[in-house]
Structure 1
Amino acid sequence: MKTLCKLVVVCPLEVAEDITEAFLDASPGLPGFTSFDVQGHGHDFASASTHEQVRGHVARKCLWMVLPENDVERALVALGQATRNAHVTHWLEPVAGAGSLKA
C-alpha cells in the first residue's frame, strides 16, 4: 500500500486561482483536491485591509490534496511555480487510509 499524505495549502484569495491552475495543469497529473474559503487569524495584520483589521481576520483560501508521498515534491514544485507570495503556507499530514464508498 502506498504511503499517503494530505497537503494543506492556505493562501490569499488573489493567488488561489494561480495555484489551482498549477495543480490542475501539472504533468503528470496530480490527484484532485478540495478548496474552500477560510479566515486566517494571527498577529501580523500589517498587510490586512482596514475591513480585515476591524474584523480581526483575513480572507484566505484553503486547498486539501491527498496524494502518494512520492508525489509531494511535484506538488510543491507546482505550488512554487504558481506563486512566490510570502503569505502562502503549506504543511503535510499523514493519512492513515483513504477510499470511497461504492454502491
Structure 2
Amino acid sequence: MAEQLCCLNLIVSPEAEENLLDLLLVSPETSAFTSIQVAGHGADPTRWSTAEQVLGRSRRMQVQLIVSREAANALLDRLRTELPGAGIFYWLSAVEAMGEIR
C-alpha cells in the first residue's frame, strides 16, 4: 500500500514563529515547507492586542508541509514537547496527488 501523504497546516503567532521555523528547519520529518503571513479571525479575540481587537484580525504565519501521516504525527508530538504553550493551531488534509509541472 502506498504511503498516505497529507498536508499539515500550522498557524502560529508572531511571538512563536521563529521558534517554529527553527524547529522545522532541523526536523527529520520535514524536507521542505512553505510559509506565508496570514490574518487570523475569530479564534479567541480576548488574547489579541487592543489594535487587533479593533481591526478584527491578528497577524499570524501559516506553514504548510507535505509529509506522510506518520511524519505529521511525529512532528505534532515534537511540537507539543518542544514548544509547549506556543498556541499553534493545526489541521491535516489528505493529499490526493502532487507533483511538479516541468
TM over 0.5: yes
8 Å Cα contact 2:29/2:71 also seen in 1: no
Please, which runs of 5 or more residues in structure 2 have no aligned partner? none
Aligned CA distance change for structure 1 residues 43 and 61 (closer, same or farther; 3 Å): closer
Tell me which residue corresponds to 2:3.
2
Q: Is the 8 A contact 1:23 1:78 kept in 2?
A: no
Q: Is the CA contact 2:13–2:60 (under 8 Å) kept in the aligned structure 1? A: yes
Q: How does 1:1-103 map to 2 (within 5 A)?
A: 1-26=2-27, 28-42=28-42, 44-85=44-85, 87-102=87-102
The answer on whether the counterparts of 1:4 and 1:69 sit within 8 Å (CA) in structure 2 is: yes
TM-score by length of 2: 0.87
| Distance in 2, Cα, partners of 1:76 & 1:24 | 15
SS at match of 1:98: coil
Q: How many residues align?
A: 101
Q: Normalising by the residue count of structure 1, what TM-score does the alignment of the two structures yield?
A: 0.87
User: Which 5+ residue runs of structure 1 have no aligned equivalent?
Assistant: none
Q: Is the Cα contact below 8 Å between 1:18 and 1:82 reproduced in 2?
A: no
Cα displacement (A) at 1:70: 2.1
Identical columns (%): 29
Please tell me the root mean square deviation across aligned C-alpha atoms, in Å.
1.6
1:22–1:78 contact (8 Å) kept in structure 2: no
| Cα distance, 1:88 vs structure 2 | 1.5
SS of aligned partner of 2:16: helix
